[in-house]
Structure 1
Amino acid sequence: MSMPGADHERFRAEHPLLARAIDAILASVRETAELLRQGDSSGQVGSVNSFGDKQLKIDVKADEIIFSNLRSCGAVVTASSEERPDELDLGGQGFSVAFDPLDGSSIVDANFAVGAIFGIWRGAGLLHKTGAEQAAAAYAVYGPRTSVVLARPGRDGKLKVEELMLTEQGWLVCREDVRLGEKKVFAPANLRAAADNKAYADFVSACISEKYTLRYTGGFVPDVHHILTKGGGLFLNPTSSGAPAKLRLLYECAPIAFIVEAAGGASSNGAESVLKMKFDHLDRRTAITLGSREEVARSKHCLRA
């Protein structure tokens, strides 16, 4: 199941290996969507990954689906996931892929929207690279409909952000140019940090007093997708001494920040763009704010207590 349309055919001709890697991701999303519809994979498997995270059946199965498609496409040299956080040789050529196979799996049983996150880098290996070096990035949203938001090279060499929707006939481009403006919408994650991070508590209070719209589900992907769908807003995940960072730079923050910045938004770890941070180890985590440029500038001071 490949990318549709004449523009994608041009892209495929100009970037054949990258297109094959993206096709493998789209195939994985389709298979995972069907797996989620079966509704029998949310229980724990009784194991943890090497990060110490408890694994659900759905995490493990989604991970297997993605690795299988990436391996068979022939365009991926190295891949690494949150469930298997090692740099694994897949025997292909062209690109390396890091992914979170099911972002928000802990809210699957509540029937909330969940997602998956993918970053694609040129060449072999992921360590010591940065998010800015990505060739493309994508995330999937599994909700009432299944969609993928993709940042990839466009006709003029600049990054293009588009949304694809899964239909019975295949993938349909439903938005050709996803862009971010300014809107008073916010998704404040890790709110427990506000207990000992006064700057964060004050920022949340200011948003309430200024009548911001609250949109927070507990899933990184659906919360960011809401911002991109509505054309503006802010997602932030500050930290404190009692509530450290949980989001991983390689598998989650860098690919999402790449998409958001390509759409005209911004990201920050409190000091600089998240895309400037190096992957000095696979489990590096970070506080993050991303979304509309003005909102990121306004909120970055409260990321760390």
Structure 2
Amino acid sequence: MDTSHIALPVGTALDRFIKRKQDDFPFASGELSQLLRDIALAGKIVDREIRRAGLSNLAGAFGTQNVQGEQQQKLDVVANVRFTRAFKNGGEVCAIISEEEEKIVDLANPNGRYIIAIDPLDGSSNIDVNVSIGTIFSIYRRISPVGGPVQEEDVLQRGTAQVAAGYILFSSSTMLVYTTGNGVNGFTYEPSLGEFFLSHQNMRIPEDGGIYSINEGSYHSFSEPVKQYIEECKERNLSARYIGSLVADFHRNLLKGGIYIYPATKKDKNGKLRLMYECNALAFIVEQAGGKATNGTERIMELTPEVIHERVPFFVGSTKMVNRVKELMQLQNA
């Protein structure tokens, strides 16, 4: 008797997918697999906290500023604690750099082989108005010998050294998207089962797109090449879409094709986005999906960081669109 029509398969669970793909990892020791599972678990916990924030007094400001000089939200602090605790308990991570921490967080796991760079809750100021938010992470292998103290060289690595990167989008559905350098795959959370299931296999960004994402409120502070590019977008009748949550804007453009721009301004000469735990991760993902990421002149992942909270201008998305911005920037500098 055929029962397939009354018991449809739910798909491939994240844990099973990781196990199947372990041989694709650059260092297939099982530790990276476990680390990805730790991230998924912390993501589930943060998802729970977000969904009940309005009923448990977790919405709104915490009352302090982070190292960036930004108002911390209560859920910023909660997410930072949840992910830090997961990495500490997992044992694979020896140190973290986080948007919410001024200095490197040494987890006292001397045998940990990995460094995590993380924005625990991107776009958290949008929580009070029910707008999509997310988590962004990068994973690096430590350079110094295992067993010893964490060194600066372990942390300040180029984006090209990432062994994995991803993000978790908390929205109408919760998604985990990640790459280990062998393509990009997305998993949707099924809360009744408590599992992430493969929903977007081998994600590819269109070569060109119809969306540009930028905060045009700062238009008069942009450089001439950026202004010119915006005018070209308008002449082409492209759609302007800007949510104000980096993960949400990036995710939409990844699926539909487009460009996200956070340029330098007169006030912020180096832009506002952070290289280590925002730009590098998304650059790795977009390149694995067939797109590009640049600071206007150089490939994002080839930039050498000097400090853990370094900021850079950021242009990321469909190849043709990013190439055009870069062309205009280079013409100005010629």
Determine if the TM-score, normalized by the shorter chain, exceeds 0.5.
yes
Q: Report if the CA contact (8 A) 1:190-1:243 is conserved.
A: no
Match of 2:304 in 1: 278
Question: Equivalent residue of 1:45, what SS?
Answer: strand
Q: Which moved more, 1:249-258 or 1:175-184?
A: 175-184
Q: Aligned equivalents of 2:29 and 2:129: distance in 1?
A: 40
Deviation at 1:70, TM superposition (A): 0.7
Alignment identity in percent? 28
Q: Which moved more, 1:190-199 or 1:84-93?
A: 190-199
Q: Which moved more, 1:259-268 or 1:179-188?
A: 179-188
Given the alignment of the two structures, is residue 122 of structure 1 paired with residue 133 of structure 2, yes or no? no
- Residues 140-161 of structure 1 deviation map (CA, whole Å, 9 limit, x = unaligned): 10000000110114xxxxx221
TM-score (norm 1): 0.91
Given the alignment of the two structures, is residue 132 of structure 1 paired with residue 151 of structure 2, yes or no? no
Give the alignment of 1:60-99 within 5 angstroms: 60-90=77-107, 91=109, 92-99=111-118
- Residues 94-140 of structure 1 deviation map (CA, whole Å, 9 limit, x = unaligned): 21101001000111111111111000001155433111100000101
CA separation of 1:292/1:281 partners in 2, compared to 1, >3 Å: closer, same or farther? same
- Count of aligned positions: 297
Q: Which moved more, 1:244-253 or 1:47-56?
A: 47-56
Q: Report if the CA contact (8 A) 2:134-2:167 is conserved.
A: yes
Give the alignment of 1:3-18 within 5 angstroms: 3-5=14-16, 7-12=17-22, 14-18=28-32
2:168 is aligned with what amino acid? Answer: A
1:166 is aligned with what amino acid? Answer: Y
Q: CA RMSD for the aligned pairs?
A: 2.0
Question: Equivalent residue of 2:296, what SS?
Answer: coil
Q: Report if the CA contact (8 A) 2:98-2:118 is conserved.
A: yes
2:63 is aligned with what amino acid? Answer: G
- Residues 8-61 of structure 1 deviation map (CA, whole Å, 9 limit, x = unaligned): 213347341111111111111111110001123222222122232221111000
Q: Aligned equivalents of 2:242 and 2:63: distance in 1?
A: 29
2:259 is aligned with what amino acid? Answer: L
TM-score (norm 2): 0.84
Q: 2:200 aligns with which of 162, 171, 175?
A: 175
Q: Report if the CA contact (8 A) 1:119-1:251 is conserved.
A: yes
Match of 1:19 in 2: 33
Q: Report if the CA contact (8 A) 1:185-1:215 is conserved.
A: no
2:14 is aligned with what amino acid? Answer: M
Match of 1:38 in 2: 52
Rg (Cα) greater in structure:
2
